[in-house]
Amino acid sequence: MDLRRSFPEPFDADADEARPGYRLMDSHTGSIQFESLDSKDLGEQLAFVESWFAKANDSPGWVAVATDASVRPEHTWQAVSAARIWYGGAFRRKARRAAGRVTAPDAELYAIRLGVGLALAAPNVKNIVLFTDHLPSAEAAFDPSPHSGQEHSLDVCKNVREWLRGDPERSITFVKVLSSLEWDFHHRVHCYASDPSLKVAIGRRPHTTIGWLRKHHTSACIDEWTRLFATPEYTGRHFLKLTDKSKVAQPSYLAGGTWCSVFDEPVEFSWFCCGVLDHAPTGDFRRRFKFPGPYDCRCENGGNQTRDHIIHRCPRYQREIDDIVLDLTTVPGLAEFCRKNPSVFSFGDSPSGD
Ligand SMILES: [Zn+2]
């Protein structure tokens, strides 16, 4: 992909809103709040959001806003951002826009911009409570530095600053609402954003964020990595394919990666790698590369000391932890085997012991 043709998102590296000491989060910290409830209990979550809604509904000068976005996976249609505002006991206005070729956090950020815009346009607003299912996008709305969706953040910062200046009692609170709750007030804007009647084609030159480009290229790298991983020319013919949920464990960069993530100690990981690559000083390895013998295992079973013999049959190694037999076909299982047998795949464990 040619980045010059697909990178129309503007950035401002020297935005007024980003000047040190002038940033909204520095000058109006107490007026901007982010609220969430750390509980998996849906009943508690419902009570939490309803208490915030009741506060906004019952207090003069307060408005409640719900924002959400819909990112369609087909790469055919643009994402949609939407917002609805409630005051005086009813929904008053709503806004919905095609967001371009963006990630879900970008589209949520745009929805928050729309929601803040609706709130600031309402009459005599003193306090805003904005419900979103993606609080990081609400925090990004007050980050004026260059980032994916910066233009939305700069717009929010500029308009909210002017509004807060008008009255020191004004405040804006962002409240996290779980999508799984399907809470009516927020679920309505979810349905509004995902309504199939609004479908805007991607087109030839869609608005594209840096976040989408990063995600697109990362996905392309992972696809290529997965394709290569299936070829023995890439992995090596002796690469030990371990499993994850009965399928071959695939390479991943997430959460530390497929293999690295289960290790804390570099030494354990190094011997694990030697085993997986079959580049350990085993008898079989020495025979293959014509190193001097001996090649047979020092255990009572004897025979060629192959990797398979070490992992599955050699009586010199432990394969149980607290009477639970390790699943040595998986990455965590083989990792535990390496921890339980610290000398495995090391020089000290080779047939010659050196
Ligand atoms: Zn043995």
- Residue 237 within a domain: no
Considering the domain boundaries, does residue 105 fall inside one?
yes
Q: What is the pLDDT of residue 349?
A: 74
**pLDDT tens per residue, range 236-252:** 999 999 999 989 999 99
In the reported structure, the alpha carbon of residue 64 is separated from the centroid of ligand 1 by a whole-number distance in angstroms of 70
Q: How far is the CA of 313 from the centre of ligand 1 (A)?
A: 7
- Residue 97 in domain: yes
Model confidence band, residue 3 (pLDDT cutoffs 50, 70, 90): low
**Strand pairing of 62-70 and 320-321?**
unpaired
Mean pLDDT, rounded, for 312-325: 92
- Ligand 1 mean position, distance from CA 263 (Å): 25
Q: Write down the pLDDT at residue 272.
A: 94
What pLDDT score was predicted for residue 205? Answer: 83
> In CATH, what number is assigned to the domain containing residue 179?
3.30.420.10
Per-residue pLDDT tens over the stretch 185-234 = 999 999 999 998 888 888 888 889 999 999 999 999 999 999 999 999 99
> Within this chain, do residues 252 and 202 fall inside the same structural domain, yes or no?
no
In a domain, residue 222? The reply is no
Distance 43 CA to ligand 1 centre (A): 57
Give residue 284 CA to ligand 1 midpoint distance, Å. 12
Are 24 and 166 found together in one domain? yes
Report CA(75)–ligand 1 centroid distance (Å).
54
In the numeric block, the tokens 């990004």 are attached to 140
> Can you give the pLDDT at residue 8?
65
The answer on pLDDT for 6 being more than 60 is no
Q: How far is the CA of 338 from the centre of ligand 1 (A)?
A: 15
Q: Would you call 200 exposed, middle or buried from its count of C-beta atoms within 10 A (0-12, 13-18, 19+)?
A: middle
Q: Which of 162, 196, 213 is the last residue of a domain?
A: 213
Q: How many domains would you assign to the chain?
A: 2
Peptide bond into 294 cis (omega under 30): yes
278 and 147 in one domain? Answer: no
If you measure from the C-alpha of residue 232 to the centroid of ligand 1, how many angstroms do you get, rounded to a whole number? Answer: 28
345 CA → ligand 1 middle, Å: 12
Q: Which of 162, 192, 213 is the last residue of a domain?
A: 213
Residue pLDDT, tens place only, 323-349: 899 999 999 999 999 999 988 998 877
The predicted structure's pLDDT at residue 5: 56
CA angle, 121 as apex, 116 and 124 as ends, to 5°? 110
pLDDT by residue (tens digit) across 147-196?
A: 999 999 999 999 999 999 999 999 999 999 999 999 999 999 999 999 98
C-alpha 237 to ligand 1 mean position (Å) = 23
Residue 230 lies in a domain: no
Question: What's the gap in Å between 250 CA and the centre of ligand 1?
Answer: 30
pLDDT confidence band for 72 (50 / 70 / 90): confident
At 74, the pLDDT band (50, 70, 90 cuts) reads: low
- Do 198 and 294 share a domain, yes or no? no
| Claim to verify: residue 173 and residue 252 sit in the same structural domain | no
Residues 185 and 251 in one domain: no
**Residue 29's pLDDT is what?**
86
Does position 292 have pLDDT exceeding 90, yes or no?
A: no
Domain match, 255 and 199 both: no
Q: At what angle do helices 150-165 and 104-121 cross, to 10 degrees?
A: 20
- Distance in Å, CA 339 to ligand 1 centroid: 18
CA of 236 to the centre of ligand 1 (A): 25
pLDDT number for residue 131: 98
Q: Is residue 218 part of a domain?
A: no
Q: Is residue 221 part of a domain?
A: no
Q: For the whole model, what pTM was predicted? A: 0.78
CA of 285 from ligand 1 middle (Å) equals 14
65 and 202, same domain (yes or no) = yes
pLDDT digits (tens, 9 = 90+) for 82-129: 999 999 999 999 999 999 999 999 999 999 999 999 999 999 999 999
Give residue 350 CA to ligand 1 midpoint distance, Å. 10
Quick one: 9 and 79 in the same domain?
yes
7 pLDDT higher than 60: no
Q: Is residue 205 domain-resident? A: yes
**Which residue, 213, 230, 254, sits at the end of a domain?**
213
Check whether residue 145 and residue 254 sit in a common domain. no
Instruction: Provide the residue range defining the domain that includes 155.
Output: 3-213
Ligand 1 centroid–CA 241 distance in Å is 22
Indicate whether 205 and 256 sit together in one domain: no
Phi-psi region of 278 (alpha: psi -120 to 50; beta: other; left: phi over 0): left
Q: For tokens 């991943």, name the residue.
A: 252
| Mean local confidence (pLDDT), 121-139 | 97
Domain match, 155 and 256 both: no
Ligand 1 mean position, distance from CA 308 (Å): 10
